[in-house]
A and B are shown apart, each in its own frame.
Chain A
Amino acid sequence: MIEEQLYKEMILDVIRDPRNRGEIDNPDFEAVLENPLCGDEVRIQIELENSNQKAENRVIKKALFSGNGCAISQAGASLLAQNIEGKRLDQVKNLKTSDILKLIGIKPNPTRMGCALLSLETLREALLSSAKS
């Protein structure tokens, strides 16, 4: 059943009590993207651990998302933010479509794919934003 594929219990739990939701006052990286089809909006903010190393070798100390939209986009953002915390920046740079789908655990149809991938695209956009250090 399609709705069971789309709305697994896990996703519904995530949106009822989303982890890593919030805002960082002074993030090292951030971006906000919108899916014009449905108006979903996801902001991802990243704070790196302090160290003298260049940014890509530093560890993500905190990753938070905010925004609004459908269950799939918001759960995706929550799961992605949780997933990247504690990883080195260069480890998350190459996250692929298949990685985010694995995280969310669903196979959306083409029209909902944009919702599922919105957080990944936002992350990529954020990593392109200039680091403040």
Chain B
Amino acid sequence: MLLDTQKIRKDFPILARKIHNKPLIYFDNAATSQKPRQVIEAVSAHYSQHNANVHRGVHKLTEEATEAYEVARKKIALFVNAGDSRQIVFVRNATEAINLVAYSWGRKNVGKGDEILLTETEHHSNLIPWQQLAKEKGARLKFISVNAAGELELNKLEGLVTEKTKLVGMVHVSNVLGTINSVKQIIERIRKVNPNTKIIIDGAQAVPHIPVSIQHINPDFYAFTGHKMLGPSGIGVLYAKKEILENMDPFLFGGDMILRVSLEGSSWNYIPWKFEAGTPNIEGAVGLGAAVDYLKFIGMKEVREHEKELTSYALEKLREVKNLEMYGSRDVEKRVGVISFNIVKEGKMAIHPHDLVSILDAEGIEARSGRLCAEPLLSKLKIEAAARVSFHVYNTKQEIDALVPAIEKAKRIFKI
């Protein structure tokens, strides 16, 4: 079932904008989502009504700011069913969440000859921190391969996990193919081979689009970001199991993360504050809390149904476009509303995605092009770059209808 987009769209002030004198069609949601006025107003109200530093002093305003910040943490914990909200650490974004794990947990627990298992479909944010760690420690990176259809070759999973596997890192939903990985089952299989292996899931593209229950998935770490889920930028979340967080050293040192300080040494604050040194992004957390309220009000099942229907419609429409090659699964049950494609002729890219997306832009359609921060995956699929459209709650079938003639226009300009 489609959502009542007429109503939803009124909540997003930016959607009234024109781009090159055409109504804005925002199809770059996998990069960042737009923000409803409820989020914008929550951030604004924080500054105009409740602004003070958190966890410091005893005055009324700091109490209000601290309350708002900690209530946001609880809302977010509930939203992703994370259990104890002390397992929710505020960070800047999913990248920072993964780096926190790589620095704090990784540098203490991964050593020479140890193995880190990733997939070939990772966003650079869940690849490069591990490359660095492996380089520093003399650890070995291994990869779960992806086939030409863009599916992970999981039949080899058990053979890839060994007693040396300290960590498995895996994307929940691919930012290129939209594939939803069955992370729960994969995690169970990994733990059967090596129960000591820690597992980190990159949920940046999952939490904004599908119902996510972290306790059900049961990873050791789970990272996501606010700005892709209608929240502000500069606020993200690292979930980690309490006992792991308690045994991890802090990542950043300074104010707010300490209990007692002398000139000689200090003791660390309780979790999660041990990992939140310095004044945090208070208004970001408040804004993300408002985004979670907004998504909950719509319902994540409903969000998923809406986007599934849009994806199904878009796949059907794009399939009719001659010379258009799409990547990833055709089955909308297995993917979200992220569609990467190219215009090809005689097996070769006929319009560079950068050119294609410039022409879409001229029609008011904002899409993404390039290597999509997943260069190894594109290499594996033997594509240099791709154009990408991605949907959210406010997108409509009419907007997808407008995409097709815009692509046809690009083909006309390039005489294809």
A128 close to chain B: CB less than 8 A = no
Interface 1/0 per residue, B301-320 and A, CB below 8 Å: 00000000000000000000
Q: With CB as the reference atom, state the residue of chain A lying closest to B361.
A: A2
B252 close to chain A: CB less than 8 A = no
Q: Do A7 and B369 touch (CB < 8 A)? A: no
- B156 CB to closest chain A CB, in angstroms? 30
In the docked arrangement, what's the CA distance between A6 and B361, Å?
12
A-B CB contact pairs (8 Å), 10 listed: A3-B409, A6-B359, A7-B359, A7-B413, A12-B413, A38-B385, A40-B354, A69-B354, A71-B351, A112-B354
A-B Cβ contacts below 8 A, count: 51
Q: With CB as the reference atom, state the residue of chain B lying closest to A108.
A: B358
A115 close to chain B: CB less than 8 A = yes
Closest 9 CB pairs of A and B: A70-B354, A70-B352, A3-B362, A38-B354, A2-B362, A71-B355, A38-B370, A3-B359, A70-B355
In the docked arrangement, what's the CA distance between A72 and B357, Å?
13
> Which residues in A have their C-beta under 8 angstroms from that of B370?
37-39
Q: Do A68 and B358 touch (CB < 8 A)? A: no
In the docked arrangement, what's the CA distance between A70 and B369, Å?
11
In the docked arrangement, what's the CA distance between A3 and B353, Å?
14
Question: Which B330-371 residues sit within 8 Å CB-CB of chain A?
Answer: 351-355, 358-359, 361-362, 369-371
Q: Do B20 and A2 touch (CB < 8 A)? A: yes
> Which residues in B have their C-beta under 8 angstroms from that of A38?
352-354, 369-371, 385
In the docked arrangement, what's the CA distance between A6 and B415, Å?
15
Q: Which of B354, B359, B409 contacts A115 (CB 8 A)?
A: B354
Given contacts A12-B414, A39-B371, A70-B352, could you give 9 more A-B pairs where the C-beta distance is less than 8 Å?
A2-B362, A3-B358, A3-B359, A16-B415, A70-B355, A71-B352, A71-B355, A71-B414, A72-B355
In the docked arrangement, what's the CA distance between A3 and B409, Å?
10
> Which residues in B have their C-beta under 8 angstroms from that of A115?
354
Contact A7:B355 (CB < 8 A) given known A39-B370, A68-B384? yes
Q: With CB as the reference atom, state the residue of chain A lying closest to B406.
A: A3
On A, residues with C-beta under 8 Å from B are: 1-3, 6-7, 12, 16, 37-40, 68-72, 112, 115
In the docked arrangement, what's the CA distance between A16 and B370, Å?
21
In the docked arrangement, what's the CA distance between A103 and B415, Å?
23
Question: Which B66-96 residues sit within 8 Å CB-CB of chain A?
Answer: none
> Which residues in B have their C-beta under 8 angstroms from that of A7?
355, 359, 413-414
- A55 CB to closest chain B CB, in angstroms? 35
In the docked arrangement, what's the CA distance between A115 and B409, Å?
22
Q: Do A39 and B355 touch (CB < 8 A)? A: no
> Which residues in B have their C-beta under 8 angstroms from that of A6?
355, 358-359
> Which residues in A have their C-beta under 8 angstroms from that of B20?
2
Interface residues on B, range: 10 to 19
- A72 CB to closest chain B CB, in angstroms? 7
Interface 1/0 per residue, B374-388 and A, CB below 8 Å: 000000000011000
> Which residues in B have their C-beta under 8 angstroms from that of A69?
352, 354
Q: Do B413 and A39 touch (CB < 8 A)? A: no
Contact A39:B362 (CB < 8 A) given known A12-B414, A115-B354? no
- A70 CB to closest chain B CB, in angstroms? 4
In the docked arrangement, what's the CA distance between A16 and B369, Å?
21
- B195 CB to closest chain A CB, in angstroms? 41
Q: With CB as the reference atom, state the residue of chain A lying closest to B371.
A: A39
In the docked arrangement, what's the CA distance between A128 and B361, Å?
37
Question: Which B377-416 residues sit within 8 Å CB-CB of chain A?
Answer: 384-385, 409, 413-415
In the docked arrangement, what's the CA distance between A68 and B355, Å?
13
In the docked arrangement, what's the CA distance between A38 and B359, Å?
15
In the docked arrangement, what's the CA distance between A7 and B355, Å?
9
In the docked arrangement, what's the CA distance between A68 and B371, Å?
14
- A7 CB to closest chain B CB, in angstroms? 5
Q: Do B352 and A1 touch (CB < 8 A)? A: no
In the docked arrangement, what's the CA distance between A112 and B356, Å?
12
- B372 CB to closest chain A CB, in angstroms? 10
Most chain A CB within 10 A, of B351, B352, B409, B415, is at: B352
> Which residues in A have their C-beta under 8 angstroms from that of B354?
38, 40, 69-70, 72, 112, 115
- A32 CB to closest chain B CB, in angstroms? 15
- B191 CB to closest chain A CB, in angstroms? 38
In the docked arrangement, what's the CA distance between A2 and B406, Å?
13
> Which residues in A have their C-beta under 8 angstroms from that of B358?
2-3, 6, 112
> Which residues in B have their C-beta under 8 angstroms from that of A3?
358-359, 362, 409, 413
- A9 CB to closest chain B CB, in angstroms? 9
> Which residues in A have their C-beta under 8 angstroms from that of B361?
2
In the docked arrangement, what's the CA distance between A72 and B384, Å?
16
- B110 CB to closest chain A CB, in angstroms? 29
In the docked arrangement, what's the CA distance between A71 and B355, Å?
7
